[in-house]
Structure 1
């Protein structure tokens, strides 16, 4: 973690391995057995290989440090995070070849699907497919592009609402009223979204590829998206005729999605190189490549902290409120509000931190008529007349050459005025007037140029999912699952287990936890492997399935898995 930029370190947590209960391990085991059974046929060939290459074991929840050690062979590493982290932080971590893995484990009630990120989704979904070099390269390319995307104020509000709802739903202490309030807040925030930002477009591409992507023959595609790889229910649904299969193209960024519903259509890539082709096509539409008015318009609309880069390499990071144009429609003046930072080559310029320009910043851009930098003299009155019509006048106090190899210069004036047509842009009483030299806007991209120096520029708070408080009954249940783990470990070593031992556990479980179907699935599996009579266990499970329609598919799947060899 110490190798991470400081602004990313707050999202990293310690994987408290001791917090996982024996029930948590049993849920992991059930899901992984289920996934391996189904995905051996329907996933991209690299998936099952990736499970082994990343050291992911069916028997227990993996240690993230162990996954990281395996990923390092492929130029990646893994670090534990807690719950949702901001999309920008997630992408920046991936651009550094770091896979963030949520260390939380879904509950038995959310066995098939959880609204919050968890170790099943990240470790069993994302990690194995990274072992494929072509896909890993695409992920890095995607993260580099996504890091440049402009995220809007509306995006940030939506993220907070989604995170709040997922945390509330996964927290067993939440009341129905709290869940309802969070649900209503998300609906309200979602309806208020007025435009699709670059970050939203990148999010959609990520959803239709890395999360819900299919690959290969459009008539018989294979699965590679982590959202599908970590959920058998969704992967079975996605390959059915109920889901329309569409060849992957840039059109996917215009297709919104609902994370709470099965997807009515999915996109099929020819191969992993196809992903990079579509990504390149998308990048050509983005402000960081377009610059100019198109880029500025996106920044103004976003109402968030972004960076405007001039052709001289000078960068202005802050919230762009507006810009003025000349008679030709070219940018003539940039006006930022709130804390603003001046940078060059993604490094803050000395004396121009956002704490200095804390109340906003403005500067003209464009050609200066009859201008020679060499003719300027410190302490003298200087007048700059821009082709656009902007006029600047004041006593020059500093010429700050930022780079010896470029025209990157910051000029500072006192008693300065700046005017464009009838609009006063700067007054003497406002203090020192610092302007940067540059003829045009070459790039506009998301976030501050020097993220570390800028500091916190949003309201994100790195949250920690609170550890659950268990009742005595729950602790007793965990002890039953632990007993089964111990018996299975002994059986694996000795190769034998007595029928009386299993029967004794069966009677104990029936007396205290008769409806805990997963206990009896594990008993059935052990009896079958040991070649012992399994009818009592199977009959009990079939009885539970008949009584409980909600759990019936899980119980029936558990019976089927008990007979399979892993």
Structure 2
């Protein structure tokens, strides 16, 4: 698998698909879901959906090989790579910004056939991939990813993400106990209730949910489906178009509406066309810290309690947990403080000697104009201007800022890039503001960042690869399911029915082969309806006068009385049973 083009910190999320792990039951679930989806969505999805299935290599009869999907979507400027279930939001967005569609290689269980909160190959491949063929939507998805990877994600977001992932993994694992599910649900509820503010990442997550995941497009009174969550859910794709779901014109205000991944959505947003998505995204981006910067952007980062980056107008990028933005008497930024491992970068590349090990205990710097030149950013000073201030290697200097911050010390070095001064290194240094000591001589070398404003604040470190692991980039694997002997027998029976179909058994030979399987099936798993449905499809198309026809129909009629969900699944299956 080709992953060399990815930054090293993203490669760890890519897994082998291991196609052989898909059981015959998995294949039957895929086949049922895709048959239902195509039948309904051919009429109710965006016009590019059916064409998209074909052009992206999505076959109704079998789970796709992700490498084959990748080859197909390269024609549209994308690649596909397999990942394991949920991956961190920041990683997902960075992959999309690189033109990579991450496809969760896991497959939903029969119990969650209609819908699963966990990412799976139905959702990623059959949901996301087909719409990528539309150039305007493809462009939106790339632009969204570029914006989203700049979003400030909070510690609370990360805790919630972990809780959602744990619950989804537990629910999809056949070996999980009811006690484990209950404990995970209670933990998610506790974490959700502790959320104190809505971060930029949360707002963008809402925008993604109401567009790429659960978006509708076209006329308000007769919209079409384009969101992957709807395109991959038999139940919700039908529910969403009913009068029970409120339809709202899509605006940037959609970010004010939260969602529950475990429940059908009571309202959905309708975009007039795909260009509307780009316009709304740009309106959202104009509200974000990476565009507004300043104290408002810094305060977003402080509230988040996570690793973020403040970029000065000199181009110097300061990454770490921003904990304080000290202001002067006019309310202007005077001094910036970070705690914990910090990093200095320029143009997204870490500066030599300024990694998180060197700045292990934090970073602090004045920001603003010097009294000597109150209208000129210090980063643009000439050598003679710096010399006037005694900023020359080996000399003592005293730098007084308009804000009132005063820095003194012996100049050790001056770091410049592209004609701009980025960092002054001072020994025996002291930084003070209104009697408060911000840096003391015994703390070591004072590396003072140079810049007068903070035009941008964005999520994560500027140079992720150099910074190393952050809490939002932790890689985990979905545990492989452990099958009981009964489940292995069940898989064997499904495998036999699949072989009968693929070997094109006809007439009496078909009936004889199926009868053997169904006899064992009725004894071992009398409540399993999907194998009966697959058998009925074969009988109706290849031996309609078979004695098995009435027997299977009667068994399905009995099973459909079990509950409303089973009744719906069987009824929908019967509608398509005669069309192999």
Look up the match of 1:251: 253
The residue aligned with 1:404 is: 418
The answer to whether structure 1 residue 362 and structure 2 residue 377 are counterparts is no
| Contact 1:347–1:449 under 8 Å retained in 2 | yes
Kept in 2, the 8 Å contact 1:152–1:302? The answer is: yes
Q: What CA deviation, in whole Å up to 9, does each residue of 1:486-532 have, x standing for no partner?
A: 1111118x899543333343334334333221111011101111142
Using the alignment, how far apart are the partners of 1:315 and 1:322 within structure 2? 16
Residue from 438, 441, 459 that aligns with 1:446 = 459
Task: Tell me the residue number matched to 2:110.
Answer: 108
Q: What is aligned with 1:458?
A: 471
CA distance in 2, matches of 1:422, 1:495: 95
User: SS at 2:108's partner residue?
Assistant: coil
Offset from partner CA, 1:51-79 (integer Å, 9 cap, x none): 10110101111111111111111110011
Aligned to 2:521: 509
8 A Cα contact 1:103 1:119, kept in partner: yes
Cα distance, 1:463 vs. partner?
1.6
* Residue equivalent to 2:572: 557
**Is residue 2:539 matched to residue 1:527?**
yes
> 1: distance between equivalents of 2:561 and 2:159?
45
* Normalised TM-score (structure 2): 0.94
Shifted more, 515-524 versus 142-151: the winner is 515-524
Q: Which of residues 11, 15, 18 is equivalent to 1:16?
A: 18
- The 1:240/1:373 distance shift into structure 2, 3 A limit, reads same
Distance in 2 of aligned mates of 1:136 and 1:104 = 24
* TM-superposed deviation, 1:460: 5.0
Number of equivalenced pairs: 562
Structure 2 distance, partners of 1:195, 1:547, is 44
Q: In the alignment, which residue of structure 2 is the partner of 1:309?
A: 311
**C-alpha distance in 2 between matches for 1:511 and 1:491:** 26
User: Deviation per CA, 1:167-217, whole angstroms, max 9, x where unpaired?
Assistant: 111122222222222111111111111111110110000000011100001
Q: Matched residues in 2 for 1:227 and 1:55: separation?
A: 19
Between 1:475-484 and 1:462-471, the stretch displaced more is 462-471
Is the aligned partner of 1:58 residue 2:60? Answer: yes
- Give unmatched runs, 5+ long, in structure 1: none
**Is it true that 1:391 corresponds to 2:393 in the alignment?**
no
Distance 1:31 1:238 in 2: 17
Aligned to 2:382: none
Say which SS state the counterpart of residue 116 (structure 1) adopts: coil
Residue range with higher mean Cα deviation, 16-25 or 364-373: 364-373
**Distance (Å, rounded) in 2 between the aligned partners of 1:395 and 1:506:** 88
Deviations 1:37-95 (A, max 9, x none): 11011100111111101101011111111111111111100111111111111100000
Of residues 180-189 and 87-96 in structure 1, the stretch that sits farther from structure 2 once superposed is 180-189
SS of match in other structure, 2:222:
coil
How far did 1:409 drift? Answer: 2.1
In structure 1, which of residues 35, 38, 46 is the aligned counterpart of residue 37 of structure 2?
Answer: 35
The Cα of 1:467 is off from its aligned counterpart by 1.4
Separation in 1, partners of 2:168, 2:387: 60
Secondary structure at 1:491 match in 2: coil
Say whether 1:416 aligns with 2:429: yes
Q: 1:93 to 1:496 in 2, by over 3 A?
A: farther
Structure 1 distance, partners of 2:472, 2:133, is 35
1:155 maps to what in 2? 157
Post-superposition Cα deviations, 1:343-369, rounded to whole Å, max 9, x if no partner, equal 111110111001100000000011112
Contact 2:508 2:543 in 1 (8 A): no
8 Å Cα contact 1:497-1:530 kept in structure 2: no
Cα contact 1:25–1:61 (8 A) shared by 2: yes
What SS does the aligned partner of 2:330 have?
A: coil
Q: Show CA shifts across 1:283-340 (max 9, x none).
A: 1011111011111111111111110011111110011110111222111100000011
Task: Classify 1:329/1:547 alpha carbon distance in 2 versus 1 (closer, same or farther; 3 Å).
Answer: closer
Question: Per-residue deviation at 1:540?
Answer: 1.9
Q: Give the distance between the partners of 2:283 and 2:508, measured in 1 at CA.
A: 60
Q: Distance in 1 between matches of 2:281 and 2:220?
A: 20
Q: Does structure 2 conserve the Cα–Cα contact (< 8 Å) formed by 1:491 and 1:497?
A: no
The one-character-per-residue Cα deviations of 1:113-158 (angstroms, maximum 9, x if unpaired) are 1121111111111111111111010000000000110111111111
Change (3 A) 1:547 1:416: closer
- Relative to the length of structure 1, the TM-score reads 0.97
From 446, 454, 478, give the equivalent of 2:491. Answer: 478
Following superposition of structure 1 onto structure 2, how do residues 250-289 of structure 1 map, counting pairs within 5 Å?
A: 250-289=252-291
CA distance in 1, matches of 2:342, 2:564: 58
1:177 aligned onto 2:179: yes
For structure 2, the 5+ residue unaligned runs are 374-384
> In structure 2, how many angstroms separate the alpha carbons of the residues matched to 1:167 and 1:393?
56
Distance 1:277 1:174 in 2: 44
1:378 aligns with 2:372: no
Q: Which residue of 2 aligns with 1:69?
A: 71
* Distance 1:497-1:71 versus aligned 2 partners, 3 A rule: farther
* SS in structure 2 at match of 1:441: coil
Conserved 8 A contact 1:313-1:408 = no
Give the whole-Å Cα distance in 1 for the aligned partners of 2:126 and 2:98: 21
Q: How does 1:110-259 map to 2 (within 5 A)?
A: 110-259=112-261
Residues 415, 432 of structure 1: 8 Å contact kept: yes
Of 537, 556, 561, the match for 1:546: 561
Could you tell me how far 1:558 is from its partner in structure 2?
1.4
